[in-house]
Structure 1
Amino acid sequence: MLLTLACGSLFFPGLFALCTWGLRRARPAWTDSDCVMISTRLVSSVQAVLATGSGIVIIRSCNDVITDRHWLAREYVWFLIPYMIYDSYAMYLCEWYRTGDQSRRQSLTTFQSFLSKNRLMITHHAVILFVLVPVAQKLRGDLGDFFVGCIFTAELSTPFVSLGRVLIQLKQQHTLLYKVNGILTLTTFLCCRILLFPFMYWSYGQQQGLSLLQVPFNIPFYCNVANGFLIAPQIYWFSLLCKKATRLFDAPPARKDGSTPRDPTHVEGPAVF
């Protein structure tokens, strides 16, 4: 546990610092805000790949969705804790660079702006750290590694969300890549963050000889409540992505400087973990 926590505490901030340093050297014309934001997205994408890979390994190794065990189901959660703390600070750092007033790095105004714009994401991070981590590591006992693996795979959509934000930052909304990435974002988000929950219910039903509709009435009530809390923000974020998608193929023409007006439906990239 302690070794995994230490590795995560070094890996994510270290990768962020390395990416920022590399981008500043490779793209000297980019602003500090560009380098920091893109580095943040790169680290998020790396974490997403690691989480998705861990989830797939866990799912494939668990024939019994209730009792089968895999060490990654617990160990990766310890690795994830430093990421959630790092990511909270990285979001604030992006806000600080976005304001452009570096003399007010620790100012109350900047911090209040950060809290106001990221209320849902901050709450999401806090719930993961103070609720889901204790549940995953202690309260569930030795059961349910399969479902932990399923939750990990929800991160599959994160690299596409991150790429979309990078393209917006670089004013590439008019490109074919941006449109293709938008389709992939919607597809992976729907499959891995929305349909994931019916899949978990279906998997349990297959093992217990229950239909999908029977499962909610044959599991503890708190399981349904917990899944409801997990899927609710995903549905909200998916609705925002759908609104954005309606404008994807009807974007306003580029300005003379090559930029496009800021997308009014833009929200910070969602994340389960």
Structure 2
Amino acid sequence: MAALVCGAVFFPGVYFGLRRRLRQTFTHWTDADLACVSERLMSAVHASLSSAAGLTVALSCKDVMIDNHWLVNNFVLFGAPYMAFDLYAMYLSHFHTERARGGSGSPRGPSLQPIRAFLTRDWLLVLHHLALLLVFMPITLFFRRGLGDFFVGCFLTTEFSSPFVSIGKILIQLRLDDSMLHRINGLMVLLTFFVCRILLFPFMYWKYSRQLGVPLSAVAFHMPLHCNLGNLLILAPQIYWFLLLLRKANRLYLRGRTAPDKARLRTD
């Protein structure tokens, strides 16, 4: 329970501390700028801690089923308040952005319109956070019977791509989306996302096949049906997000190709 309390203090503290520091440093920034960047930086902090914890657990567990590590339950409890608070931070970012644009976030008396607009736009991220809070956390803490710390550690490392995603959004906020730094960061997003959120699943099945001494192709038939279905439900949105990232990267590449052509036409 101490880990839960620490998380409930730490993540709001990081968010509001960063927001205050950014307000003092970038005095020309709007509330929308401050909310967006503070939320992304807090997300990067959580993702870095999650990846470090997950890697520590995964490397420490020799037996993928029965080896235990104290970090697993403690970090899940520590990270739970982040998932709840990040929903609030994402809503604040949406609210201030829409208010700056004169959209649904504009205060016109009591209204649920800003909340509905936020849930409509970011429903997949909201569902992701709620699933981690209401499904992943109870399963990890109460229904595993102390088994599979290795796999929980692997799932924690899926956050390794999140700091690069956050950096990309911050660079866009700073109007550096045409910079070489943004392009390099975009490549890191694709690489880390593919490795840590998609290749991770065949890697876990491979580790389990070595534990059982069976071919990789037969592992799924040696696992309970609910485990295979659970992995499929987790993998499906990762593939969807990766396809969106590829589409965005393609647009960025095409824009980078057309910019020199336009510059050449102006000089001819």
TM-score (structure 2 length as normaliser): 0.91
Instruction: State how far apart, in whole Å, the 1-side matches of 2:192 and 2:111 are.
Output: 38
Q: Does 1:167 align with 2:166?
A: no
Residue 194 of structure 1 contacts residue 231 of structure 1 at CA under 8 Å; is this kept in 2? yes
Bigger proportion of residues as helix: 2
Q: What is residue 67 of structure 1 aligned with on the other side?
A: 66
Cα RMSD over matched residues? 1.6
Q: Is 2:123 the counterpart of 1:124?
A: no
CA, structure 1 residues 253+207, in 2 after alignment: closer, same or farther (shift >3 Å)? closer
Deviation per CA, 1:3-45: give whole Å up to 9, x if none: 1111000100010000000000001011111111001000000
Q: Deviations over 1:153-186 (max 9, x none)?
A: 0000000001111111222111000100000000
Look up the SS of the partner of 2:84 in the other structure: helix
Q: Distance in 2 between matches of 1:86 and 1:192?
A: 24
Partner-residue secondary structure (3-state), 2:175: coil
Structure 1 unaligned runs (5+)? Answer: 256-273
1:1-273 aligned at under 5 Å gives the runs 2-100=1-99, 101=105, 103-104=107-108, 107-251=111-255
Cα 1:249/1:88, change in 2 over 3 Å: same
CA–CA distance in structure 2, aligned partners of residues 112 and 103 of structure 1: 14
C-alpha separation between the residues in 2 aligned to 1:105 and 1:14?
A: 30
2:264 corresponds in structure 1 to none
Matched residue, 2:265: none
Instruction: For 2:44, give the aligned amino acid.
Output: S
Distance 1:80 1:106, change over 3 A: farther
Alignment partners' CA distance in 2, 1:4 and 1:105: 39
CA shift for structure 1 position 253: 9.2
Distance 1:219 1:124 in 2: 25
Aligned pair in 2 of structure 1 residues 105, 196: CA closer, same or farther (>3 Å)?
farther
Gaps spanning 5+ residues in structure 2: where? Answer: 100-104, 260-268
Contact 1:174 1:254 in 2 (8 A): no
C-alpha distance in structure 1 between counterparts of 2:74 and 2:162, whole Å: 21
SS at match of 1:153: helix
TM-score between both structures, scaled by the size of structure 1: 0.90
Measured against aligned partners, the alpha-carbon deviations of 1:158-217 in whole angstroms (never above 9, x if no partner) come to: 000011111112221110001000000000000000000000000011111122111111
Q: Is the 8 A contact 1:160 1:185 kept in 2?
A: yes
Q: 1:160 to 1:222 in 2, by over 3 A?
A: same
Distance 1:104 1:48, change over 3 A: farther
Distance 2:117 2:91 in 1: 9
